[in-house]
Structures are given as structure tokens and as C-alpha cells.
């Protein structure tokens, strides 16, 4: 069931989103050669706790951490390990928190230190751009296929690949609500978005295959050919005129 949020629900979603935007900014600044993934998880938990939030990742299907850190060929759901991030690593950080029962979910990808090559830079920039282009399409009445097709067209034009096993989603009193927001689709098809819906759009992109495999830890999703991967995500409120990005960094 797709829910339309009331104004008091939206106020809580906005608080959750703002705190998550601040937490992600902090993590982004911490990504430097030599940082340990466990320190990112710890700093994140401390930050959201200090703001009155709890973790929605920890314990989700027994997920054992508070953020996901997915490095290089890892696409999503990397469990933070006792691992030091190296110069040139492509680091995707996926985060979520709950404020008074309302969830926010957001992800960024950053190249640590000095990028190894132009292709890595293009992968990260194009993945981010595909999210921005999709967000520009969001407003009351727009069909979900139009959002999906916007991501797909831009990513494919730029020669990258889109795994189809994972998608964006509605969000609210649960991290994952209806509707599903796929990263591939046909414009002007599917359900119409309505003002008051809150959704997550999250392009997940790989360099040279759309196939993924799940690692032995049963969580980490890796590109099937070990090519590099990137992921960006925002929690978004659909409005009459357009949308509001809830997980942007604000002071």
C-alpha cells in the first residue's frame, strides 16, 4: 500500500532527513586514505544517537552494522569491516536513521584521495547526475516509469550498466514501503506519484556488467565481472509543484 503522509508525518520525515544529510556530510569528510571502515560506522552511530535518532539498518534482516560501506567492485550492502580505505578507492556509503518512528535513507559515493583514472570519476559523476535528473522529473502526477526511464537513458547513453535486482522504494514508518522505484523502465507507464508520498530514488551503476553476485557474507553485492560500482540515494517528498529532497545537507 502506498501511503500519503500527513503534515505532522512530513515534519518528522524532514527532521530524520536533515539529520541524515548532516551525518552523510560528516562521513564524506572522513573518507581520506587510512580511515578504517569501523570508525565510519562508529562515528555515524554516535552522531545520529546524539540527535535523538536510532538506526534502521542494524538488525534489519539481522544486518550487523549501522551503515553500508561498499568499496570499488562492491555495489551495495558492504558490511563495514576492520579495513583501511586506500587512496583511489571508490567508496559508497549507504545510511539510514529513524526519528520518532519516521525513516530516512540516503547514500553517496566518493573517490578517496586521488582518483585512479578518468573512468572512475565519470562513473561516480554520472551516477550522481542520473539521480539529479530523476529528481528533476518528480512531481504530483508523474508516472514512476518516467523516473526509471530517466535514470536508464542517461546511464546507458554514457555506456554504463544498471543492475535490475535492486530498486528505490517508498519510505515512511518503514524503511521500505511501496511503491518500488526501479532504475530501468518505460516513460509514461506505471503508477502516478502523488503529493505527500515520500520515496527513495537510488541509482546503482556498474562499469561493464549489469550482473551482480552476493558475497559469502550473504550481504555484500558485487559486480559479476569485478568492474567498479557507484550508488547515490536521496529520500524525497513529492509535492504539487515538484519535490523536496529531505536528505540534503543543511546546517
CA distance 117 to 227: 13
Q: Which of 9, 41, 233, 244 binds ligand MF3 (CB under 6 A)?
A: 233
**Closest CB to ligand MF3 among residues 187, 245:** 245
Q: Which stretch binds ligand MF3 (CB under 6 A): 17-25, 55-63, 151-159, 222-230?
A: 55-63
Site size toward ligand MF3 (CB under 6 A) is: 11
126 binds ligand MF3 (CB under 6 A): no
Distance between start and end Cα atoms, the chain: 34
Q: How far is the CB of 225 from ligand MF3 (least distance, A)?
A: 23
**Closest CB to ligand MF3 among residues 105, 244:** 105
Tell me the three cell numbers of residue 167.
530498486
Q: How far is the CB of 209 from Co ion (least distance, A)?
A: 22
Q: How far is the CB of 113 from ligand MF3 (least distance, A)?
A: 25
134 binds ligand MF3 (CB under 6 A): no
CA distance 152 to 54: 34
96 binds ligand MF3 (CB under 6 A): yes
Which x/- pattern over 191-230 shows residues binding Co ion (rule: CB under 5 A)? ---------x------------------------------
Burial annotation 43-61 (CB, 10 A radius, 16+ → b, else e): bbbebbeebebbbbbeeee
68 binds ligand MF3 (CB under 6 A): yes
**Of 167, 160, 37, 140, which is closest to residue 91 (Cα–Cα)?**
37
CA distance 100 to 135: 26
Establish whether 240 is an annotated binding residue: no
Neighbouring C-alpha atoms within 13 Å toward the C-beta of 171: 34
CA distance 18 to 241: 21
CA distance 93 to 26: 11
94 binds ligand MF3 (CB under 6 A): yes
Residue ranges of the binding site for substrate: 77, 176
Which parts of this chain interact with ligand MF3 (CB under 6 A)? 57, 60, 63, 68, 77, 94, 96, 105, 200, 202, 233
Amino acid at each position: 500500500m502506498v501511503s500519503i503522509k500527513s503534515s505532522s508525518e512530513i515534519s518528522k520525515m524532514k527532521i530524520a532527513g536533515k539529520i541524515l544529510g548532516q551525518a552523510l556530510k560528516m562521513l564524506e569528510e572522513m573518507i581520506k586514505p587510512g580511515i578504517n571502515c569501523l570508525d565510519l560506522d562508529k562515528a555515524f552511530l554516535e552522531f545520529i544517537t546524539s540527535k535523538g535518532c536510532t538506526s534502521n539498518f542494524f538488525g534489519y534482516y539481522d544486518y550487523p552494522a549501522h551503515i553500508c560501506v561498499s568499496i570499488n567492485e562492491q555495489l551495495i550492502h558492504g558490511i563495514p569491516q576492520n579495513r583501511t580505505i586506500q587512496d583511489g578507492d571508490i567508496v559508497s556509503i549507504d545510511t539510514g536513521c529513524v526519528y520518532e518512528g519516521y525513516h530516512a535513507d540516503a547514500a553517496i559515493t566518493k573517490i578517496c584521495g586521488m582518483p585512479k583514472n578518468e573512468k572512475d570519476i565519470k562513473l561516480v559523476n554520472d551516477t550522481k547526475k542520473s539521480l539529479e535528473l530523476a529528481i528533476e522529473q518528480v512531481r504530483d502526477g508523474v508516472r514512476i516509469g518516467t523516473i526509471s526511464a530517466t535514470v536508464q537513458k542517461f546511464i546507458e547513453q554514457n555506456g554504463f550498466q544498471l543492475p535490475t535486482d535492486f530498486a528505490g522504494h517508498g519510505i515512511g514508518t518503514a524503511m521500505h514501503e511501496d511503491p518500488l522505484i526501479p532504475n530501468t523502465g518505460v516513460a509514461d507507464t506505471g503508477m502516478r506519484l502523488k503529493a505527500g508520498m515520500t520515496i527513495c530514488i537510488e541509482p546503482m551503476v556498474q562499469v561493464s556488467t549489469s550482473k551482480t553476485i552476493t558475497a559469502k557474507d550473504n550481504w555484500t553485492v558485487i559486480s559479476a565481472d569485478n568492474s567498479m560500482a557507484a550508488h547515490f540515494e536521496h529520500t524525497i517528498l513529492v509535492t504539487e509543484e515538484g519535490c523536496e529532497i529531505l536528505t540534503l545537507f543543511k546546517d
